[in-house]
C-alpha cells in the first residue's frame, strides 16, 4: 500500500516547479512542499499522533497551513481545519466532539485555549504566518524546522479518513463530515481534467484554507496538475487586481466577482490573458454572470458542491456556460431530483430534492450514525437539502434550499444556532433569524426578536451580549424588535413573511 491521497495529489509534481508564490516575495516549490510536509509529519508523530488521530487546526492562512494538511495526511492522521473567525466557545464544541490529539492555534490565541486544551487532554501547539527573516512562527513551526525532511509516509488506502470538516447543523450543533482519501483525490482528478489544469497554470488563490473551496477544490486540483498559485492571505481588490496579470485562473465565491465588478480597474485588458474564472459556494446571480461577460468577455464557470460531497456538478469547459445553472453532474457522479417526501425521482423539469452518489460523497458524520442514516437513501444517494431541477438540456438548476440555511459571502449560517443564542438573552421571549438580500454578501443575517412581556430589549445590548459567543460573520447585521412573529395555523414561524418584510434592510 501507499498513501492514497498524497501519492495521487503529487503524481504530476515536478520538484523544482513553483507551487506557490507569496506576496512577501517567497516562492515555495514542490520540493518545499515535500520537505516541509515531512517535517510536520515527523513532528506530529513525535507528539504521539497515531494513524486515525485528528489534528485540529485554527491558524491564519499561510502556505504552511496547507503543508500542515499534507503532513497530517502523510502521518496517517485526519486533518480538521477550523474557521479562524470561530470564538473559543465554538471551538470548545469542536474539540470536545472530535477529540483530536493535537490542536494547533494562532500564537496570539494560545492564552484563550491553554485551560481548555488541558481540560480536554488535547496537546496545544501554535502556528502563525511564517516570516522570511527567521522570526518564530509558533511552537509547531519552530519544532518542524528542527525536524527531519525525510519521512516514510504511513500507508493509507482509499477508504481511510483524510479530513473531517464541520458543517453547521439544522439543530444548531455542527456535524463533522468524514472525508476519505478517495473522496478528496477522486474529485481533484476529475476537476483537473474537466477544467483543463496543467503545470502551466497559475491560480489566484484568495480563499480561506479551512473550507472545501479553498483547501480542496483549489489546492488539491492545483497539486494534481503540478501547477502553481499566487497565494494571497485573503481577498482584497487591490491585491487581486495587482496579481491577476500573473495568473491564468481564479476561483472564488460570488462576492469576489461582484466586488471586482464594482472596481473600475477591473477591465477587459486586465484579464484578457486569463483562461478561467470559477464561481461556487453560493448562487451566482445571473445578472453578475451577464455583467462579467459584458465587462471582460469571460463567461464565469459556475459549479456546485458541498462540504459533504466536494464538487457535484460543473458547467462545461468548452460548451455553453449557462447563467443561473450549475451545469452537469461531474464524471462519476450520479445526480437525481426526487420528491422530498417519497424519495421517488420527479420528471425532468420539475423541482425536487437534489440527491447525489459517487466517489466524492463523504463517509458519514463523525460519531452520528443515526444522523448519517437519515441523510442517505438505501441505494447510497445522499440527500443534499438543496432544491433543484434538471432542464431539457440536462443542466442542473438550484432553485432553493430545503434546509433553513443562510449563505453569506460563501459562509454557511444555520439560523437555529443564532436563534438559540438570541433566545438565551435577557428579556428575549423568542426570535427568528433570516437571510435577506445583501449587496456584498449575497445574503445578510437579520434577527427578529420578541421580548418578554414588560421587558425592554435593545439591539445594542443584545449585540454586545452575543459578541464573544459566535463568529462575527454569523452575528445579525440588523436586529428588529417586534411584538410577535407571524405564524401559520400549525404555529410554525412564517419566515417567508419575515424575509419579505425585511427584504430592503440592506438595500444599497
Positions in the binding site for ligand AMP (CB under 6 A): 167, 212, 280-283, 302, 304-307, 326, 384-386, 398, 401, 407, 412
Q: In the complex with ligand MCA, which residue's Cβ is closer, 62 or 307?
A: 307
Cα 55 from chain centre: 18
Q: In the complex with ligand MCA, which residue's Cβ is closer, 97 or 281?
A: 281
Binding test (CB under 6 A) with ligand MCA, winner from 128, 283, 410, 476: 410
Binding test (CB under 6 A) with ligand MCA, winner from 188, 203, 306, 481: 306
| Residues 357-386, interacting with ligand MCA (CB under 6 A) | none
Q: How far apart are CA 20 and CA 14, in angstroms?
A: 13
Q: What cell numbers appear for 262 in the block? A: 464594482
Is 208 near ligand MCA (CB under 6 A)?
yes
| Residues 155-184, interacting with ligand MCA (CB under 6 A) | none
Binding test (CB under 6 A) with ligand MCA, winner from 166, 266, 441, 502: 441
Q: What cell numbers appear for 306 in the block? A: 458541498
Q: How far apart are CA 294 and CA 136, in angstroms?
A: 48
Binding test (CB under 6 A) with ligand MCA, winner from 76, 100, 176, 280: 280
Tell me which stretch binds ligand MCA (CB under 6 A): 66-74, 105-113, 189-197, 208-216.
208-216
Does residue 314 contact residue 194 with C-beta atoms inside 8 Å?
yes
**Nearest CA to 19 among 158, 226, 190?**
226
In this structure, the strands spanning 202-205 and 228-231 are: parallel
**Nearest CA to 381 among 426, 334, 415, 441?**
334
Q: In the complex with ligand AMP, which residue's Cβ is closer, 408 or 475?
A: 408
Q: Mask: binding to ligand MCA, 219-258, rule CB under 6 A, as x and -?
A: ---------------xx-----------------x-x---
Q: Mask: binding to ligand MCA, 307-346, rule CB under 6 A, as x and -?
A: x---------------------------------------
Is 36 near ligand MCA (CB under 6 A)?
no
In whole angstroms, the minimum distance from the beta carbon of 306 to ligand AMP comes to 4
Name the DSSP class of 285: P
CA angle centred on 336, ends 330 and 337, rounded to 5°: 130
Q: In the complex with ligand AMP, which residue's Cβ is closer, 38 or 163?
A: 163
Q: What cell numbers appear for 337 in the block? A: 431530483
Kindly tell me the burial class for residue 47, based on how many C-beta atoms sit within 10 Å of its own C-beta (0-12, 13-18, 19 or more): middle
Return the bridge partners of 136, or none: none
Kindly give, in sequence order, each residue whose CB lies less than 8 Å from that of residue 500, ignoring residues fewer than 6 positions away. Answer: none
Does residue 182 contact residue 359 with C-beta atoms inside 8 Å?
yes
What are the start-end ranges of the H helices in 226-337? Answer: 237-243, 254-261, 286-296
Does residue 288 contact residue 254 with C-beta atoms inside 8 Å?
yes
Of ligand MCA, ligand AMP, none, which one does residue 254 interact with (CB within 5 to 8 Å by kind)? none
Nearest residue (beta carbon) to ligand AMP? 307
Name the DSSP class of 266: -
Task: Give the C-alpha distances (Å, rounded to integers) separating 122 from 98, 288, 290, 335, 469.
Answer: 11, 46, 50, 40, 22
Is 60 near ligand MCA (CB under 6 A)?
no
Of ligand AMP, ligand MCA, none, which one does residue 506 interact with (CB within 5 to 8 Å by kind)? none
Is 72 near ligand MCA (CB under 6 A)?
no
Q: Mask: binding to ligand MCA, 461-490, rule CB under 6 A, as x and -?
A: -----------xx-----------------
**Nearest CA to 280 among 242, 231, 330?**
330
Q: In the complex with ligand MCA, which residue's Cβ is closer, 202 or 284?
A: 284
Binding residues vs ligand MCA (CB under 6 A): 207-208, 211-214, 234-235, 253, 255, 280-281, 305-307, 408-411, 441, 472-473
Amino acid at each position: 500500500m501507499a498513501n492514497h491521497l498524497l501519492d495521487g495529489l503529487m503524481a504530476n509534481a515536478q520538484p523544482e516547479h513553483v507551487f506557490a508564490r507569496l506576496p512577501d516575495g517567497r516562492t515555495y516549490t514542490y520540493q518545499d512542499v515535500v520537505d516541509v510536509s515531512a517535517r510536520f509529519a515527523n513532528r506530529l508523530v513525535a507528539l504521539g499522533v497515531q494513524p486515525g488521530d485528528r489534528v485540529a487546526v485554527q491558524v491564519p492562512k499561510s502556505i504552511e497551513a496547507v503543508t500542515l494538511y499534507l503532513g497530517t495526511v502523510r502521518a496517517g492522521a485526519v486533518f480538521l481545519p477550523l474557521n479562524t473567525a470561530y470564538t473559543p466557545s465554538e471551538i470548545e464544541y469542536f474539540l470536545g466532539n472530535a477529540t483530536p490529539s493535537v490542536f494547533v492555534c494562532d500564537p496570539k490565541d494560545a492564552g484563550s485555549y491553554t485551560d481548555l486544551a488541558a481540560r480536554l487532554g488535547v496537546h496545544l501547539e501554535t502556528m502563525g504566518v511564517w516570516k522570511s527573516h527567521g522570526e518564530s512562527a509558533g511552537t509547531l513551526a519552530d519544532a518542524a524546522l528542527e525536524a527531519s525532511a525525510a519521512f516514510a509516509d504511513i500507508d493509507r488506502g482509499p477508504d481511510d479518513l483524510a479530513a473531517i470538516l464541520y458543517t453547521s447543523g439544522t439543530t444548531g450543533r455542527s456535524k463533522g463530515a468524514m472525508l476519505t482519501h478517495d473522496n478528496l483525490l477522486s474529485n481533484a482528478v476529475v476537476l483537473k481534467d474537466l477544467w483543463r489544469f496543467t503545470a502551466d497554470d497559475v491560480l489566484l488563490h484568495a480563499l480561506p484554507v479551512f473550507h472545501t473551496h479553498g483547501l480542496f477544490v483549489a489546492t488539491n486540483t492545483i497539486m494534481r496538475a503540478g501547477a502553481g498559485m499566487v497565494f494571497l492571505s485573503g481577498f482584497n481588490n487591490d491585491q487581486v487586481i495587482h496579481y491577476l496579470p500573473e495568473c491564468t485562473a481564479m476561483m472564488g465565491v460570488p462576492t469576489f466577482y461582484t466586488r471586482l465588478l464594482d472596481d473600475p480597474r477591473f477591465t477587459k485588458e486586465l484579464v484578457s490573458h486569463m483562461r478561467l474564472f470559477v464561481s461556487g459556494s453560493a448562487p451566482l446571480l445571473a445578472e453578475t454572470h451577464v455583467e462579467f461577460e459584458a465587462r471582460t468577455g469571460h463567461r464565469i464557470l459556475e459549479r456546485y458542491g458541498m462540504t459533504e460531497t466536494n464538487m457535484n456538478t460543473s458547467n462545461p469547459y468548452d460548451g455553453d456556460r449557462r447563467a443561473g445553472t450549475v451545469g452537469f453532474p461531474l464524471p462519476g457522479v450520479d445526480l437525481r431530483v426526487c420528491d422530498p417526501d417519497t424519495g421517488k425521482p420527479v420528471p425532468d423539469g420539475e423541482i425536487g430534492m437534489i440527491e447525489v452518489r459517487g466517489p466524492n460523497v463523504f463517509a458519514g458524520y463523525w460519531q452520528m450514525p443515526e444522523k448519517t442514516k437519515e441523510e442517505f437513501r438505501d441505494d447510497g444517494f445522499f440527500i443534499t437539502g438543496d432544491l433543484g431541477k434538471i432542464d431539457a438540456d440536462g443542466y442542473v438548476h438550484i432553485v432553493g434550499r430545503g434546509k433553513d440555511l443562510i449563505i453569506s459571502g460563501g459562509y454557511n449560517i444555520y439560523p437555529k444556532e443564532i436563534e438559540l443564542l438570541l433566545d438565551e438573552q435577557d428579556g428575549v421571549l423568542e426570535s427568528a433569524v433570516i437571510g435577506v438580500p445583501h449587496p456584498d454578501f449575497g445574503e445578510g443575517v437579520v434577527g427578529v426578536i420578541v421580548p418578554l412581556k414588560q421587558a425592554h430589549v435593545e439591539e445594542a445590548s443584545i449585540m454586545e451580549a452575543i459578541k464573544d459567543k459566535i463568529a462575527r460573520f454569523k452575528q445579525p447585521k440588523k436586529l428588529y424588535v417586534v411584538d410577535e412573529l407571524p405564524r401559520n395555523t400549525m404555529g410554525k414561524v412564517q419566515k417567508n413573511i419575515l424575509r419579505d418584510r425585511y427584504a430592503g434592510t440592506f438595500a444599497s
